[in-house]
Structure 1
Amino acid sequence: MRTTTLWTRTAAATLTLAGSLALAACGNPSEGGSTEVAATSGTRTKINISPDQRRVTTPKVDAIAAKVPAEIRDRGTLKLVTSSDSSAPLNFYANDNKTVIGVETDIAHLVANVLGLKLQPAPASWENIFVGLSSGKFDIGLNNITVTEERKDIYDFATYRKDDLAFEAKKGSGFKVNGPSDVAGKTVAVGSGTNQEKLLVEWSKENEQAGRKPVNIKYYQSQTDTNLALASGRIDLYLGPNPSAAYRAAATGKTEVVGTYSGGGKTIQGLIAATTKKGNGLIQPVAEALNVVIENGTYAKVLDRWGLANEAVSRSEINPPGLPRTNK
């Protein structure tokens, strides 16, 4: 997965569809701002979108904290990089339009808690997330990053969520997407350089080989631009991360998820992972921290509060099989 655009402190930078999405309007002011999204088994969960997050916390585990590389441990901070594109519920602005919130940030806070470190978040464009991790500018990335065999050459991974993709359409479009033939001849937006782009390109080639029309693939600079294109009918579908698509559909009522697919394609369940520079010694304590919070229930509480319980993993794995280099 990836997202792009500049980190701007404006209403337009929050999740938008046909202009700014005023999420606060969905909530009860007495509760500081909230919105409801789908949870598990058809239920709904109320999400706090105010700057006062009342985050789930967990205690430090000294034995794991001692395994953190000395440079980071002595500094006392964990430098987290997340996307500069505001994309609920992954990372986005609270209703004050300046406080960054979301499931990725919450999980990163839990990891920092266990490691006894203060989380120091910083936004970056998708490309600069990886550049910053490679250079050591950032210690860790939590940004809906999918494990791939290619990325494993350069980075280490500790998994924490399933990677599911979603096809998003205007509400009432009548579209249903189960496979390549359903997008033949359709205009579909996707993020450049993403795993979902790779999947869409392969589906388009498969359509051509079968004598069907290829996919008309479109690229936009930001999620805001993509949302506007979907609302105006310039595109038929958007292929992106399931959490964001489900959130937009529930929060706006103007879009719907018309099909989901594993980020790993036909052969493997895609997995989302915390990402570090390969071999820098950080991934082992990060994975252990994730397993602590999975076992003590705080991880489940975080996923529940963002309506993502169905993407839970039972255990964090270090560098598991990733998306194949051919993704076939």
Structure 2
Amino acid sequence: MSRRLAATALVALLALTACGTPDDIDAVAVDAPDGTTQKINTSPDQKRIRAAKVDAIAVQVPEAIRADGRLAVGVSGEGSPPLAFRADDDRTLIGVEPDIAQLVADVLGLELDLRPTSWENLFLVIRSGQDEVGFSNITVTEERKDIYDFASYRVDSLGWEVKKDGAIEKIDKPADIAGLTVSVGSGTNQEQVLLRWDAQNKAAGLPAAKIVYYQRPTEYQLALRSGQIDAYFGPNPSVVYHAAVSGETKVVGVVPGGGQVPAQIAAMTKKGNGFATALSEALNTVIRDGRYAEVLRRWNLSSEAIPTSEVNPPGLPRT
């Protein structure tokens, strides 16, 4: 399926609020349920919402990071729209994560340098300092805070995706997955939630879930479509997007990032490098001036907005 068709399906289902996409670049126009015409830009030329440099914040960036005038941002390159995915040229990274990273880079007076990587490698490149910050739907946890510093910028929500014509209609509690074959990303926060739910079921005498891992989104999508798995558990924005694009799946449950415990998504940087405060202040600048809200509206994620960015907010409890 082409990205243009994918974008059309997404907007038709979710009724995106007006994106302000200029008419002189590639965009998909659809009729939303409210009768308005909406647009989502999937071209390489994103015309991103931009912010002005704030000298008082830029000067707080550690010299080792600002020396080359660039902000090296680790972001998932595996393709998870609308978080981060490839534009129509199949090269340019677009999505809400690159857009928020752009705002932060602008406030800090740095040139954005997006560096796609795998989820597993993301933590290594941030810990080593190869990349200076990660914007990749990263949940704050107490265990991760041992090694990294965080600046929060979104509420974390997780979704359950199942086959559209299947028998499953609702998943919102542990008992709902008893005996199911489910897939989840390895090393993710949602994996920890799934393991806790499964443990609760077994302790209650319910059938265990069979947990299956895939390396790429296309693999779980094929398994779901073919009936090899009953459900997939992942970031809610991504599963809603895929359900809209494929027309073959549906989302049957949304839970907080910690299962029953609220969680936050945050920019992640190396522990103790002094960068988290500047990141948080940059985020609060664009929260206050409305640019942050514009970006979230553009990708239909307004429900995941937070009022204030915090440095190392309370994370999900240790397992």
TM superposition score normalised by structure 2: 0.90
Other-structure match for 1:66: 59
Other-structure match for 1:218: 212
156, 162, 184: which one aligns with 1:163: 156
Name the SS for the 1:75 alignment partner: coil
Task: Give the whole-Å Cα distance in 2 for the aligned partners of 1:30 and 1:292.
Answer: 30
Matched, 1:232 2:212: no
CA distances 1:138-160 after superposition (whole Å, capped 9, x unpaired): 10000000000000011000000
Matched, 1:129 2:122: yes
Number of equivalences: 303
Other-structure match for 1:13: none
Extract unaligned runs of 5+ from structure 1: 1-20
Task: Give the whole-Å Cα distance in 2 for the aligned partners of 1:38 and 1:88.
Answer: 20
CA distances 1:9-59 after superposition (whole Å, capped 9, x unpaired): xxxxxxxxxxxx3221256898614377999x9x99642111111110011
98, 106, 123: which one aligns with 1:105: 98
175, 178, 189: which one aligns with 1:181: 175
Counterpart residue identity of residue 86, structure 2: Y
CA contact (8 A) 1:37 1:307 kept: no
Task: Give the whole-Å Cα distance in 2 for the aligned partners of 1:37 and 1:241.
Answer: 27
Give the root-mean-square deviation of aligned CA atoms. 2.2
CA contact (8 A) 2:269 2:276 kept: yes
Name the SS for the 1:220 alignment partner: coil
Other-structure match for 2:2: 22
Moved more, 200-209 or 44-53: 44-53
CA contact (8 A) 1:27 1:33 kept: no
1:72 Cα deviation after fit: 1.9
1:184 Cα deviation after fit: 0.6
Structure 1 segments of 4+ aligned residues over 4 angstroms from their partners: 26-31, 35-39
1:170 Cα deviation after fit: 1.5
CA distances 1:271-311 after superposition (whole Å, capped 9, x unpaired): 00000001101111110000000010000110111111100
Other-structure match for 1:90: 83
Q: 1:167 to 1:37 in 2, by over 3 A?
A: farther
Name the SS for the 2:121 alignment partner: helix
Task: Give the whole-Å Cα distance in 2 for the aligned partners of 1:265 and 1:301.
Answer: 28
Q: 1:213 to 1:302 in 2, by over 3 A?
A: same
Provide the identity percentage. Answer: 53
246, 250, 256: which one aligns with 2:240: 246
Counterpart residue identity of residue 295, structure 2: V
Q: 1:37 to 1:127 in 2, by over 3 A?
A: farther
301, 309, 312: which one aligns with 2:302: 309
CA contact (8 A) 2:174 2:201 kept: yes
1:194-213 to 2 correspondence within 5 Å?
Answer: 194-213=188-207
Task: Give the whole-Å Cα distance in 1 for the aligned partners of 2:139 and 2:205.
Answer: 32
TM superposition score normalised by structure 1: 0.88
Other-structure match for 1:53: 46
CA contact (8 A) 2:27 2:39 kept: no
1:172 Cα deviation after fit: 3.3
